[in-house]
Amino acid sequence: MRRYTAFSLLTLAILPVSALSGPAISPTSTLEIQDGQTGTLIVLPPQATETGLKKIPDGDHPFIAPGPDDQRGPCPAMNTLANHGYISRNGITTFEEITLGMMEAFNIERNLGAFMVASNMMTGGNSFVNKISIGGVSPLVPPLPGGIEGPVTSGIAIHGRVEGDASITRADTFIGDSRNFQEDLFDLDLLQLEKFGDNGPNGNNTVFNLPTLVAIKQQNFMMDQVANPEFTFPARRLGGALTDVAFILTVFANGTTTQATLPNISLFFRNQTFPDNWFRAASPVTALVNGEISGAVGAAFAVPPGRNNAQGVYVADPPPPAPFNISFACTSYYDLLGTMPAGLANTTGILKQNVELLSSIIFSTVEGIDPACNQLLLPFGPAATA
Ligand code: HEM
Ligand SMILES: *[C@@H]1O[C@H](CO)[C@@H](O)[C@H](O)[C@H]1NC(C)=O
Ligand SMILES: *[C@@H]1O[C@H](CO)[C@@H](O)[C@H](O)[C@H]1NC(C)=O
Ligand SMILES: *[C@@H]1O[C@H](CO)[C@@H](O)[C@H](O)[C@H]1NC(C)=O
Ligand SMILES: *[C@@H]1O[C@H](CO)[C@@H](O)[C@H](O)[C@H]1NC(C)=O
Ligand SMILES: *[C@@H]1O[C@H](CO)[C@@H](O)[C@H](O)[C@H]1NC(C)=O
Ligand SMILES: *[C@@H]1O[C@H](CO)[C@@H](O)[C@H](O)[C@H]1NC(C)=O
């Protein structure tokens, strides 16, 4: 059984931008064309200076429902940002746009946000042109140069890298729709809220709390482990599932009251919009802040990373090679880089600079959580099969 204490130690030093930026950029290196695509250097934006309570959305960001060609996907937060124009409404966005949009609308601290976008950019985006779809394959995001990922760039909905099994409101890919909100699954989550939730302005047992999150994750896991013969829950996905569910309390709650009420949380998941009169978190949501909740959920959940075997029995995954077996954080790090195509680590020019920047962002985050996890990795996994 893994230890989950790493989660409660999730901490990111406020690194100076210089610590995370890539090699020096010479002006002559900025125009580069490969396979007909123009490369774009990715730049890590600075932490926003205005970080207090703020009513969201502001007047410049009204809800507009997505059109038929707009990409939406498995992340309620990305869908909400796009529905309000905090990122491109067509769902095709960039590293910088998502990082800035998360800071503005959700008060996600810069380094935590950059870590999440970097992880998704190298598993589902095009790190050469700096474009990512918050849904599936799009004609607006070209394939990576040199066939690194095969004929298409998948989008964040690609199954088996960041997106995975035992989600709160999406079905396992083997079972059903792993991309869009599923009312029936959300209703099952709400049964746990009815049992464990706190009392609040909308009635008894209507406010999400830690026991509710634990019960939801236990239920998601138990149902899918039984119903999905291909059930897979590797370290990166276990860590992601705990991170995601904790966001209900740290990000979706009303920043003024810190309450995560049933009608408000439903709007984020079901309608992918902000409740009226909603305030973002009162201070930046760092990996430490969210890690305190995700760590507590993980400790109570107490399931090791693993997968079903041919008999449908859940079997723990073997530990990664040393030194990555020292902690859950380091195990997840190895697992995550191992799901990114190795071709990304064998490039030149702008793509090489971007991959080095994104890899260093991920590494800095993990090293902040577990300083002993001090060996930088570049992507070393297989190309996408789909
Ligand atoms: C504001 C910060 C964020 C919040 C509050 C957030 C929240 C969530 C939540 C609650 C889920 C779980 C959905 C479910 O299990 O039904 C989720 C899933 C997901 N998110 Fe986000 N997210 C954030 C940032 C991001 C970013 C920056 C990306 C990528 C660019 C991303 C990609 C994903 C993906 C791929 C999933 C699917 C995981 C799965 O359930 O299999 N998220 N997110
Ligand atoms: C809500 O809970 C309180 C405290 O347990 C109780 O006094 C009250 O009767 C409950 N209200 C309803 C509507 O059930
Ligand atoms: C959000 O929750 C509050 C209670 O904290 C409630 O009064 C309000 O009606 C909810 N907003 C929406 C849009 O559901
Ligand atoms: C949220 O979605 C539900 C179901 O689609 C709809 O009935 C409801 O009117 C929506 N609420 C808001 C505030 O958009
Ligand atoms: C958030 O809390 C503030 C302060 O109590 C309140 O005015 C506002 O209506 C609340 N918003 C929601 C969405 O619950
Ligand atoms: C990690 O693996 C090495 C080599 O197999 C082993 O000696 C070491 O005890 C392992 N460390 C942990 C913390 O499991
Ligand atoms: C790196 O890429 C070059 C050019 O595409 C190729 O010839 C070489 O075999 C690759 N090296 C590795 C280790 O994959």
Question: What would the pLDDT profile of 33-61 be if each residue is shown by its tens digit?
Answer: 999 999 999 999 999 999 999 999 999 99
Nearest to 240 by CA among 166, 174, 184: 166
Quick count: other Cβ atoms within 10 Å of Cβ 109?
25
- Inter-residue contact 379 to 122 (CB < 8 Å): yes
- Inter-residue contact 214 to 301 (CB < 8 Å): yes
Quote the pTM value: 0.94
Residue 336 Cα to ligand 6 middle (Å) = 20
Residue nearest to atom 3 of ligand 5 (CA): 256
Task: Supply the Cα-derived Rg of the chain in whole angstroms.
Answer: 20
pLDDT at 26 over 60: no
- Inter-residue contact 104 to 285 (CB < 8 Å): no
202 CB near ligand 7 (under 6 Å): no
Q: Which tens digits make up the pLDDT trace of 117-133?
A: 999 999 999 999 999 99
Residue among 198, 199, 207 to mutate when testing ligand 2 (max atoms within 8 A of CB) = 199
Q: Which tens digits make up the pLDDT trace of 73-117?
A: 999 999 999 999 999 999 999 999 999 999 999 999 999 999 999
In whole angstroms, what is the distance from residue 167 CA to residue 156 CA? 14
In whole angstroms, what is the distance from residue 87 CA to residue 93 CA? 7
Instruction: Report residue 197 as tokens.
Output: 């939730």
Instruction: Report residue 281 as tokens.
Output: 């978190």
CA 106 to chain centre: 14
Q: What is the dihedral of CA 352, 154, 34, 130, to 10 degrees?
A: -60
Residue nearest to atom 14 of ligand 3 (CA): 263
Residue 99 Cα to ligand 4 middle (Å) = 28
244 CB near ligand 1 (under 6 Å): yes
Q: Which tens digits make up the pLDDT trace of 189-243?
A: 999 999 999 999 999 999 999 999 999 999 999 999 999 999 999 999 999 999 9
Residue 59 Cα to ligand 3 middle (Å) = 20
Residue nearest to atom 12 of ligand 1 (CA): 244
User: What is the phi/psi pair of residue 343, to 5°?
Assistant: -60, -25
Q: Which 3 state secondary structure label does DSSP give 307?
A: strand
Q: Which tens digits make up the pLDDT trace of 300-359?
A: 999 999 999 999 999 999 999 999 999 999 999 999 999 999 999 999 999 999 999 999
Residue nearest to atom 3 of ligand 2 (CA): 204
Nearest to 343 by CA among 204, 147, 185, 198: 147
CA 149 to chain centre: 20
Q: What percent of the chain has pLDDT over 90?
A: 91
Residue nearest to atom 2 of ligand 6 (CA): 322
In whole angstroms, what is the distance from residue 109 CA to residue 222 CA? 33
Residue 12 confidence class, pLDDT cut points 50, 70, 90:
very low
pLDDT at 285 over 70: yes
Q: CA separation (Å) from 131 to 41, 142, 344?
A: 11, 9, 15
CA 15 to chain centre: 21
pLDDT at 17 over 80: no
Quick count: other Cβ atoms within 10 Å of Cβ 372?
11
What atom in ligand 2 is closest to the CA of residue 204? 1
Q: What is the dihedral of CA 145, 150, 155, 158, to 10 degrees?
A: -150
DSSP string over 119-157: HHHHHHSBTTTTBEESSS--TTSPPPGGGBTBS----TT
